Amino acid sequence: MPTAPDPQMWSEFHALCDLGGRLAGSPSEAAALAWARERLAATPGGSVREHAVAYPGWRWRDARLIDTRSSAALRCTPLLGTVPTTGLTAEVLDLGRGRPEDFARHANAVRGRIVLVRHEYPFAAGHVHRRVKLALAQQAGAAGFLIAHPERGAGPVSGSSGRDGGPGIPALGVDAEAAEVLRRAPGASLPSVRMMIDAEGVAAETRMLLLDLPGRGPDWIVVSAHLDGHPHGESAIDNATGVVVALALARALAPKIADCPCGLRLCLTSAEEWGLVGSRLWLERMDAAERARMRLNINLDSVGGAASLTALTSGFPALDAWVRDTAAREGLTLPTHLPLMPNSDHANFAAHGIPALRLIAGFGSSDSHLRLLLTAADTRDKVRRDELDAALRVASALTWRALMLDAPALRRLREKAG
């Protein structure tokens, strides 16, 4: 269904960016949750609920990385949830991109050293995720882990360690300039650094905010977007864009849903940036019958910052075909990517057998503004108004078509690859 531009969406985007990075557990996240509650409550015909989710939290006070040769401090930020250290001094082994073959080639050199790898553009087929590289370093006996953003001027790269309170090694994100300082000169010995991370695990709690707009039947099409972000920048692309498009979508469809076979459930999650832990625990702890009533998940995450959109269809071939057919019927250009990419909340829905897709901008476009995600450069100036308008058109078309599917059609979407 065609959707006109929403006059509130652009101002809401700026209002959410005004609240800062929205790191889970911070005052910025609390302000964003309060702001989102008000916006959800203003949607006609809906009922708003919230679910508390306890999760293994973490907080840090200070992090430092010192080049022992010059005593110079290098810019860094701790990976979320990483283990603390009062002072780890070790040689730095640069493994380039840090892919499995790089670790295999240097298997005998990693133990006891601090491994340095490069952050890769995360929205492309074949990329190796940060947490995979960290796990490889830990398994090989590394004493510490550094991951560098590849672009000068972007600042240190952030991201989750995925530790969830379990075992780990100290892990920092650094900038491209730090990686250059730590490059080993030909014939020279390995550089050495001192890592210090003042941090601790804490019992934490966040909220899942739900807006229910009932249809004729008991089942739900779930549109999700995560509110939380990172300590630096405005978390504008990731994921103020998805949140404001989801809010605008609910406003546009609210008057039409009562006659649909399914209802629309808008879910604003948090603690997504902590290894997807918020939605994972929420879904795991949910009554199985309630979970079964959620028939399809359309996840909006980083839907601005580039002109093109792609649907990641999580290994559900029938869903992939449905997306392509729906896009053709609506006259939309929307490529799909079938293999599961567990890089946002859709992966947790898919893990429970719920057909799930992630709508994302810039897939395969490593020169887009999405290359700056997880850094202080993820700010509102990287997003254009027409990008949000386009994302609203696509998301609304997919959601409307899904709301009109009958039960047998929704069951067919559950077919998994392999």
Q: Residues 40-63: what's their mean pLDDT?
A: 95
Q: Please answer whether residues 152 and 178 qualify as being in contact, where contact means their C-beta atoms are separated by less than 8 angstroms.
A: no
Q: pLDDT tier at 118 (50, 70, 90 boundaries)?
A: very high
Question: What's the whole-model pTM score?
Answer: 0.96
Query: What is the pLDDT at residue 165?
Result: 76
Query: What is the pLDDT at residue 2?
Result: 52
Q: pLDDT tier at 324 (50, 70, 90 boundaries)?
A: very high
Distance CA 215, CA 223 (A): 15
Fold agreement (9-46+214-412, 60-199):
no
The token pair at 409 is 């059609």
Distance CA 63, CA 346 (A): 32
Where does residue 336 rank: exposed (0-12), middle (13-18), buried (19+ CB within 10 A)?
middle
Q: Residues 207-211: what's their mean pLDDT?
A: 98
Q: Give me the residue spans of the domains in the chain.
A: 9-46+214-412, 60-199
Q: Please answer whether residues 310 and 385 qualify as being in contact, where contact means their C-beta atoms are separated by less than 8 angstroms.
A: no
pLDDT in tens, 364-392: 999 999 999 999 999 999 999 999 999 99
Distance CA 159, CA 162 (A): 9
Q: Please answer whether residues 360 and 304 qualify as being in contact, where contact means their C-beta atoms are separated by less than 8 angstroms.
A: no
For 9-46+214-412, the fitting CATH number among 3.40.50.2300, 3.40.630.10, 2.60.40.10, 3.30.70.20 is 3.40.630.10
pLDDT at 417 over 70: no
Distance CA 393, CA 391 (A): 5
Q: Of 151, 155, 202, which is closest to residue 174 (Cα–Cα)? A: 155
* CATH fold group of domain 60-199: Glucose Oxidase; domain 1 (3.50.30)
Q: What is the mean pLDDT of the chain?
A: 95
Question: What 3-state class would DSSP assign to 241?
Answer: helix
